[in-house]
Amino acid sequence: MLQRIGVIGGGTMGRGIAACFALHGFSVNLAEPSAAQRATIRSEVADGFRLLVDENFVDADTAVTAFDRIALFEALAPAVQDRDFIVEAAPEKMELKQALLAEIDGLAPADAIFATNTSSLPLAPMVAALPEARQVRTLVTHWYNPPLLMPLVEISAFGNMPSDLLEEVVTLHRQIGKRVAKVAKDVPGLIANRIQQAIAREVFSLIEQGVADAVDIDTALKFGPAFRYATTGQLEVSDFGGLDIWLTVGDNLLAVMDASKQASALLRRKVAEGKLGVKSGEGFYQYDPTSTSSVRRAFLGRLITQLKASRTYP
Ligand SMILES: NC(=O)c1ccc[n+]([C@@H]2O[C@H](COP(=O)([O-])OP(=O)(O)OC[C@H]3O[C@@H](n4cnc5c(N)ncnc54)[C@H](O)[C@@H]3O)[C@@H](O)[C@H]2O)c1
């Protein structure tokens, strides 16, 4: 049974992943080499737990106990040496992840299972230099941000992992309340990010062509397709609509829609101009620098509303 969890990298994702496991009773060692990052982890995890208590997801005592289950380390060795399941959430660079996994391999128990939270890198080259016995114990567990609130974890082992081990990892994530999507092939982006990029490509193209402004495009998405998507997947939607209708409309529209093979030129221009979104005060919308934290809180509030509703979703 997987009981002792190691999380490597305590940035945006690692601290949230550690908090989720701790909240559900698991002992968590979190390794973070940067002193600046380590200094912010405890207060941010405490803020996350406070939100869950305020919203009645957990009681205050559970949050206090969970907080005490997270041990923070600067060095890798003490964080991984007695762990059953170790997930790395270090920066998205292939060479860094390859070196990190090799180092952990030399420190962790031989039977520990390794996971990478990579968003876009293929697993096969990442584990190629590991001993065969470790390769078959390494997989992708891809969380969504923010980890405390987003239910999805995509799990992909590209067919090399014995099915009983894979099921153990799936069970572990279900135990902490996550909705698991298993991915049968080692494809970059897995399922959810690929779908999201396909939608984003058309959205950026529509705004670049001047078809509608940002508010109208987001309204069309939120109160049209995405309104259904929270409860009903694309394949279910297609079945409800009728595959003959989807065939006709697909033939009509796909021929005239954006099919570019790289990120939007509009996005490239905005990034070059320093228009990065909420963090810079302007993206597709404008943000008053004095209200950034309330904008972020409102976003979390919407996720909380959705999370509450999603308890009844199939
Ligand atoms: N941010 C997201 O929305 C998101 C969502 C899903 C998956 N991911 C993936 O999760 C991983 C982490 O992303 P993030 O957004 O948390 O990044 P981040 O930059 O916020 O955090 C990475 C952390 O790793 C630490 N680090 C650097 N080198 C390290 C090393 N050698 N060993 C251990 N820790 C090290 C850094 O100090 C930093 O705190 C990436 O692979 C990313 O693609 C990110």
First to last CA, the chain: 27
Distance between Cα 11 and ligand 1 center (Å): 5
The residues pairing with 70 across neighbouring beta strands, listed in sequence order, are 28
Q: Average of pLDDT values for 293-301?
A: 92
State yes or no: pLDDT of 158 exceeds 80.
no
State yes or no: pLDDT of 160 exceeds 90.
no
Q: What is the pLDDT of residues 57-89, one digit of tens each?
A: 999 999 999 999 999 999 999 999 999 999 999
Supply the DSSP symbol for 143.
E
Q: What type of residue sits at position 295? A: V
Distance between Cα 48 and ligand 1 center (Å): 18
Q: Given the structure tokens 């221009």, which residue do they identify?
A: 269
**pLDDT for position 152:** 98
Q: Average of pLDDT values for 9-32?
A: 98
Mutate to test the pocket of ligand 1, among 8, 44, 95, 119 (most ligand atoms within 8 A of CB): 119
* Topology at the third CATH level for domain 191-262: N-(1-d-carboxylethyl)-l-norvaline Dehydrogenase; domain 2 (1.10.1040)
Q: Average of pLDDT values for 86-103?
A: 98
Q: Report the nearest-CA residue for atom 30 of ligand 1.
A: 90
Distance between Cα 25 and ligand 1 center (Å): 24
The residues pairing with 116 across neighbouring beta strands, listed in sequence order, are 88, 140
Q: Can you read off the two tokens belonging to residue 211?
A: 């078809």
Q: Can you read off the two tokens belonging to residue 81?
A: 């040496």
**pLDDT for position 314:** 81
**pLDDT for position 91:** 98
**Which residues of 119-177 form beta strands (DSSP E)?**
138-143, 152-156
Q: Report the nearest-CA residue for atom 33 of ligand 1.
A: 9
| Rounded CA separation 87/30 (Å) | 10
> Measuring CA to CA, which residue among 168, 178, 179 is closest to residue 113?
168
Q: 4-183: which CATH number, 3.60.20.10, 3.30.930.10, 3.10.20.30, 3.40.50.720?
A: 3.40.50.720
The larger pLDDT score, comparing residue 1 to residue 180, is at 180
Q: What is the pLDDT of residues 165-210, one digit of tens each?
A: 999 999 999 999 999 999 998 888 999 999 999 999 999 999 999 9
Mutate to test the pocket of ligand 1, among 8, 13, 114, 296 (most ligand atoms within 8 A of CB): 13
Q: Where are the domains of the chain?
A: 4-183, 191-262, 274-314
Q: Are 19 and 45 in contact (CB under 8 A)?
A: yes
State yes or no: pLDDT of 159 exceeds 80.
no
Distance between Cα 9 and ligand 1 center (Å): 6
Mutate to test the pocket of ligand 1, among 7, 8, 12 (most ligand atoms within 8 A of CB): 12
Dihedral (C-alpha) 85, 90, 94, 100: value to the nearest 10 degrees? -60
Q: pTM, whole model, 2 decimals?
A: 0.95
Dihedral (C-alpha) 188, 83, 104, 35: value to the nearest 10 degrees? 90
Distance between Cα 123 and ligand 1 center (Å): 16
Listed as own residue / partner, the contacts of 148-151 with beta carbons closer than 8 Å and 24 or more positions apart are: 148/16, 148/19, 148/20, 148/23, 148/48, 148/51, 148/52, 149/300, 149/303, 149/304, 149/307, 150/303, 151/177, 151/178, 151/179, 151/307, 151/310
Q: What is the pLDDT of residues 123-145, one digit of tens each?
A: 999 999 999 999 999 999 999 99
Distance between Cα 234 and ligand 1 center (Å): 30
**pLDDT for position 311:** 87
Q: Are 27 and 4 in contact (CB under 8 A)?
A: yes
Distance between Cα 266 and ligand 1 center (Å): 27
- Confidence at 269, pLDDT banded by 50, 70, 90: very high
- Enclosing H/E stretch for 5: strand 4-8
Atom of ligand 1 nearest to the CA of 92: 41
State yes or no: pLDDT of 25 exceeds 80.
yes
